[in-house]
């Protein structure tokens, strides 16, 4: 069975697909690769600080104690909001943050130590904003989501034998055929997932950009009415105590909504006269990140925003985050999302590999692309290693290592040698990372979460080494 598409349409779609892919190749690769890793951001947070005990058994009074101690440490006032992240099954530890500063909270309400996760931040920040200023970066990443949607659709049109070739994967010595089949098979079988990722990714950065357009079109230019329909109408309180009663608010929500999971507490207008409590509680039977319940600073219930029983569009907006990162359902869902994210990464790489192969020549472009593809994970792991061992900032190390690899790739004129050298480096670093983590954090590195992640790194090292061996076996060198 094949889709009936005219040859001219097929040719145009194939051409546009190729040029769009080329235009955003490196940025798309970075976003896809870091996105696959970001699925496991909560596990990586725990891996970075394995000595912080996981504990779901907190009491409202312990959260209140930690909040009051944090407030005292800040001199009794803050600029902006104070946010408390409550322990959940996904991330079973509490922390409090304000003004860019975060502290872990012990089960007894002590501020145990600052929450520092530079390795996870390195990965997540590349995915969400490409290490650019937040507004600019999120806009660019969301634009890449729109471009990915166009690539998926144009690729679908360009592939005329989509159903007939659905199970075809040639793995012989013809590298171009293998790359082409790998690109097309992963694209076809991951189509619904990849389109969902692209469309939800568009939302994060473009939502704020589109707000004025929606307001002008549907609300006669009144943004407040638009925000009220989406985020709930604002509330006004006054003469509030400087220290909020979180204990009462948590107890109230447990009594009102016993089948929900409190996730976070935000003190809006913290330490000001109009301070109030926003408590997010997750409805486990819905995809929304949380319903938001509002209390005054005395802990008295005011109302809820209404995401859990609001219009379908409102519920959809507040389900985007969990759907995009696979943070719903059993733990196996995250593994599925991670694997599908890596599949999308492979698709982005093999697409450019095919274009380079069709040029039938090797030059600086081939060397640079090889450097970007294998240099990015090498730079990630190098930054993680130096961060773990010497507490060196991760982002400068990442970009410095990547630049060195790109320069080295350009200086090495034989593409095969570049490929094999980078694969060897990556495999060795993937083994060094869990060993370093174990030595730095022993005996806390023996907790199940850290053991699982370190085993995963070693498994990836074996996969990379096996892939390198297959290249050598095909006569690519040694």
pLDDT above 60: residue 374: yes
The reported pLDDT for the residue numbered 280 is 94
List the structure tokens of 440.
Answer: 């730095």
Query: Dmax of the chain from CA atoms?
Result: 78
Phi, psi at 113, each rounded to 5°: -175, 165
Same domain for 165 and 19: yes
Closest CA to 36 of 335, 333, 253: 335
Residue in the structure block whose two tokens are 């293998």: 178
What is the DSSP-derived secondary structure letter of residue 55?
-
Q: Which residues does 186 contact at the CB level (< 8 Å), separation at least 6? A: 343, 344, 346, 347, 350
The reported pLDDT for the residue numbered 18 is 58
The reported pLDDT for the residue numbered 215 is 46
477: left (phi over 0), alpha (psi -120 to 50) or beta: left
List the structure tokens of 336.
Answer: 């599925």
pLDDT above 90: residue 389: yes
> How far lies 334's CA from each of 206, 246, 328, 460, in Å?
25, 32, 8, 17
Closest CA to 204 of 280, 126, 145: 145
Same domain for 343 and 448: no
Same domain for 224 and 372: no
Closest CA to 165 of 149, 183, 153: 183
Same domain for 148 and 26: yes
Q: Is 296 within the bounds of a domain?
A: yes
How many angstroms separate the CA atoms of 223 and 212, rounded? 7
Same domain for 465 and 332: no
pLDDT in tens, 437-477: 999 999 999 999 999 999 999 999 999 999 999 888 766 54
Same domain for 372 and 464: yes
- For residues 238-263, average pLDDT: 95
pLDDT above 70: residue 376: yes
- Please check whether residue 267 is in contact with residue 82, taking contact to mean a CB–CB distance below 8 angstroms: yes
For residue 203, the SS3 value is helix
Q: Is 391 within the bounds of a domain?
A: yes
How many angstroms separate the CA atoms of 16 and 332, rounded? 37
Q: Is 4 within the bounds of a domain?
A: yes
Residue in the structure block whose two tokens are 């085993």: 455
Q: Is 192 within the bounds of a domain?
A: yes
Instruction: Work out the angle between the directed axes of helices 331-358 and 191-218 (0-180°, nearest 10).
Output: 100
Ranking 145-149, 298-302, 346-350, 417-421 by mean pLDDT, the lowest is 145-149
How many angstroms separate the CA atoms of 206 and 231, rounded? 17
List the structure tokens of 443.
Answer: 């005996």
pLDDT above 70: residue 72: yes
Same domain for 205 and 258: no
Strand spans (E) along 11-115: 82-85, 94-98, 101-105, 111-114
Cα 300 to the center of its chain, rounded Å: 36
> How far lies 338's CA from each of 166, 194, 333, 352, 442, in Å?
22, 12, 9, 22, 28
pLDDT in tens, 393-409: 999 999 999 999 999 99
Q: How confident is the prediction for the chain on average, in pLDDT?
A: 85
The reported pLDDT for the residue numbered 124 is 96
> Which of 156-160, 230-234, 250-254 holds the top average pLDDT?
250-254
Q: Is 96 within the bounds of a domain?
A: yes
Ranking 33-37, 236-240, 274-278 by mean pLDDT, the lowest is 236-240
Name the β-bridge partners of 261: 282
| Residue 149 pLDDT level (bands cut at 50, 70, 90) | confident
Same domain for 177 and 124: yes
Buried b or exposed e, range 187-217, using 16+ CB within 10 angstroms = bbebeebbeebbbbbbbbbbeeeeeeeebee
Closest CA to 457 of 383, 377, 400, 395: 377
Residue in the structure block whose two tokens are 């979180």: 246
**Domain total of the chain:** 3
Enclosing domain of residue 430: 361-478
* CA-based torsion, 177, 179, 181, 183: positive or negative: negative
- Please check whether residue 105 is in contact with residue 55, taking contact to mean a CB–CB distance below 8 angstroms: no
Per the omega criterion (within 30 degrees of 0), is the bond before 446 cis? Answer: no
Same domain for 330 and 430: no
Same domain for 433 and 349: no
Q: Is 54 within the bounds of a domain?
A: no
Same domain for 393 and 273: no
How many angstroms separate the CA atoms of 302 and 300, rounded? 6
- For residues 97-103, average pLDDT: 92
Percent share of the chain, pLDDT over 90: 54
How many angstroms separate the CA atoms of 438 and 388, rounded? 10
List the structure tokens of 158.
Answer: 């360009």
C-alpha atoms less than 13 angstroms from C-alpha of 92 in its C-beta half-sphere: 9
Please give the radius of gyration of the chain, using alpha carbons only, rounded to the nearest integer. Answer: 25
- For residues 89-118, average pLDDT: 92
Same domain for 401 and 298: no
């Amino acid at each position: 069975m094949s889709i009936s598409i005219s040859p001219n349409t097929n040719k145009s779609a194939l051409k546009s697909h190729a040029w769009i892919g080329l235009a955003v190749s490196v940025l798309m690769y970075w976003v896809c690769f870091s996105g696959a890793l970001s699925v496991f951001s909560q596990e990586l947070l725990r891996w970075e600080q394995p000595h912080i005990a996981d504990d779901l058994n907190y009491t409202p009074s312990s959260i209140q104690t930690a909040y009051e101690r944090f407030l005292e440490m800040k001199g009794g006032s803050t600029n902006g909001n104070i946010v408390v992240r409550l322990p959940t099954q996904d991330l079973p530890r509490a922390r409090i943050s304000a003004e860019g500063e975060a502290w872990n909270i012990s089960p007894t309400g002590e501020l145990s130590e600052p929450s520092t996760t530079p390795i996870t931040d390195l990965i997540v920040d590349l995915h969400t904003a490409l290490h650019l200023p937040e507004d600019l970066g999120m806009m660019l990443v969301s634009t890449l989501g729109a471009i990915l949607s166009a690539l998926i659709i144009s690729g679908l049109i360009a592939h005329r034998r989509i159903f007939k070739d659905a199970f075809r994967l040639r793995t012989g010595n013809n590298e171009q055929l293998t790359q082409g089949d790998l690109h097309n098979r992963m694209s076809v079988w991951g189509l619904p997932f990849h389109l969902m990722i692209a469309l939800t990714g568009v939302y994060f950065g473009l939502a704020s950009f589109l707000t004025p357009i929606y307001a002008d079109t549907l609300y006669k230019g009144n943004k407040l009415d638009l925000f009220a329909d989406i985020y709930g109408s604002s509330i006004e309180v006054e003469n509030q105590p400087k220290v909020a009663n979180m204990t009462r608010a948590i107890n109230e929500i447990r009594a009102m909504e016993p089948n929900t999971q409190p996730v976070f507490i935000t003190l809006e207008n913290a330490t000001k006269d109009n301070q109030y409590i926003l408590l997010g509680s997750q409805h486990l039977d819905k995809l929304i990140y949380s319903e938001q319940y509002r209390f005054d600073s005395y802990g008295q219930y005011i109302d809820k925003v209404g995401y859990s029983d609001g219009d379908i569009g409102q519920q959809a907006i507040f389900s985007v985050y969990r759907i995009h990162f696979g943070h719903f359902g059993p733990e196996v869902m995250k593994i599925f999302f991670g694997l599908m994210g890596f599949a999308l990464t492979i698709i982005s790489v093999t697409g450019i590999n095919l274009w380079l192969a069709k040029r039938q020549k090797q030059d600086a472009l081939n060397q640079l692309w090889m450097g970007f593809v294998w240099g990015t994970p090498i730079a990630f792991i190098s930054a993680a290693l130096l961060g773990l061992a010497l507490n060196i900032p991760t982002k400068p190390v990442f970009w410095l290592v990547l630049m060195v690899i790109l320069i080295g790739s350009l200086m090495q004129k034989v593409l095969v040698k570049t490929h094999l050298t980078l694969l060897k480096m990556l495999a060795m670093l993937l083994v060094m990372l869990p060993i370093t983590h174990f030595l730095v954090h022993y005996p806390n590195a023996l907790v199940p979460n850290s053991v699982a992640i370190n085993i995963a790194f070693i498994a990836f090292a074996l996969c990379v080494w096996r892939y390198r061996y297959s290249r050598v076996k095909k006569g690519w060198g040694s």
